Structure 1
Amino acid sequence: MAAVAVDQPIEFLVKGATGKPDILGDRPFCHRVLLTLEEKNIPYKLTLVDLSNKPEWFLKINPEGKVPVMKYEGKWIPESDVITEILEEKFPGPSFKTPPEKASVGSELLPSFVKFLRSKDRSDGTEEALLAELKSLNDHLKDNGPYVAGDKITAADFSLAPKLLHVKVALAHFKNWSIPSDMTYVINYAEILHGRESFAKTRAADEYIIAGWLRHM
């Protein structure tokens, strides 16, 4: 596929790896944006930000100190939701719009994962809550798959792909835990997404995913 014609590559600020800020970091929201760019074949330029030692120039651009941030038409724009909506509007081909009735599928996966990851008590219900979210996603994919909206990959998949990677890598490392083998639709879904060229090109290494979560445990 030919690259989208732009005057110059669009600038993005994304996370540098924990302990190695000159290497691409592990933030799912940044990864989601990068997947969108790769799948749409939009030229882009990355600047990696050390979030553990945020530079003054970055805080002037985005006082909240969060990434990703996109520079578009002379303005710095934060928040992955906003950024991906703009990219879809300004670069509609190919379209990755998710049907509205399916846009919220898996929306509670990351919060439930984080609660379980940080939990110190296996009986506090956080594992069960994560399992419930995974089962809901598994049931949806069984009825609608292989992607969230059917046969065509959409923005919802770009959002879920990095989150499922974090579920897999972080929980295996910190809790010796994995997605139950009977959730075959979720497991196959993750394998399909993580096998895409765009994903391999834009994912952080496992060691940086682990290092990133270690700071928040």
Structure 2
Amino acid sequence: MTAASKPELISFDLCPFVQRSVITLLEKNVEFDLTYIDLANKPDWFLAISPLGKVPVLREKGEVLFESAVINEYLDETNPPSLHPADPLKKAKNRAWIEVGGNQLMNSFRMMMSQTEEEYNSHREALIKGFKLVEDQIEGPFFNGETFSLIDAAWAPIFTRLLIVEEALGEDYLPGYPKIRAWAETLVARDSVINSVIDGFRDKFLTYLQNKTYNGDTPAYLAGRLAGSV
């Protein structure tokens, strides 16, 4: 594959959604370029190609794709073999649970961005409750059993972040979910997941959380708890 034909992912360096696509590309051994932008100061060229002004964006063959689930489906179809199950019904079920993963990622984000303890506890409860039905779907060690699939790439960014915060705070965001716990630990130990984030990701992610404030200079709830803990 020539340099000119390599797909290019556009993101910021802590984005969980682009991590999904990076994992997919690494699993498929596809060469690609990764371009980071500052979300607080989005360049004009990016706004000109991103209809929603969000990352990730994929550029390939003069075309632009956006939304991580769409990007991953495209990457899977154009770089065989597929990471989806072959059975159409099981494939459809995987796609449905990928959507659940997106919702859980947002529950996790809202929890980590909470300004107050009350808000944190509310989002923490929603996050934990959101895992309840997932527990019985996991065939282990990956979602579908022994084979890594696109759904694993979609869920890995959630666990990458949750397990970091768990360790830093001594929290448990997966209480009573042994299958999910085993799945999470399997995913974060996989080479494609480890290599899908920037060097020093843990420290940069925790620093990002520690720097969150509200009302100008008051630490957000998780920032206050992390102070002195890492």
What's 2:9 paired with? Answer: 12
Kindly tell me: are residues 131 and 26 of structure 1, through their superposed partners in 2, closer, same or farther at Cα, counting changes over 3 Å? same
For residues 203 and 171 of structure 1, the distance between their equivalents in structure 2, rounded to whole angstroms, comes to 18
For residues 77 and 40 of structure 2, the distance between their equivalents in structure 1, rounded to whole angstroms, comes to 33
For residues 181 and 42 of structure 1, the distance between their equivalents in structure 2, rounded to whole angstroms, comes to 37
Deviations 1:168-209 (A, max 9, x none): 234655x65223464322222111111111111112411222
Instruction: Provide the secondary structure at the position in 2 that maps to 1:168.
Output: helix
Scaled by the length of structure 1, the TM-score of the pair is: 0.79
Alignment of 1:99-110 (within 5 A): 99-105=91-97, 106-107=100-101, 108-110=103-105
For residues 128 and 115 of structure 1, the distance between their equivalents in structure 2, rounded to whole angstroms, comes to 11
For the 8 Å contact 2:137–2:143, the answer to whether it is kept is yes
What's 1:128 paired with? Answer: 125
Question: Cα RMSD (Å) of the superposition?
Answer: 2.5
For residues 175 and 124 of structure 2, the distance between their equivalents in structure 1, rounded to whole angstroms, comes to 16
Q: Report how far residue 34 of structure 1 moved.
A: 0.2
Q: Report how far residue 138 of structure 1 moved.
A: 2.6
Scaled by the length of structure 2, the TM-score of the pair is: 0.75
Identity %: 26
Kindly tell me: are residues 41 and 62 of structure 1, through their superposed partners in 2, closer, same or farther at Cα, counting changes over 3 Å? same
Q: Report how far residue 145 of structure 1 moved.
A: 1.9
For the 8 Å contact 1:119–1:126, the answer to whether it is kept is no
Instruction: Count residues with an aligned counterpart.
Output: 200
What's 1:18 paired with? Answer: none
Q: 1:27 and 2:15 equivalent? A: yes
Match for residue 206 of structure 2 among 189, 205, 210? 210
For the 8 Å contact 2:56–2:67, the answer to whether it is kept is yes
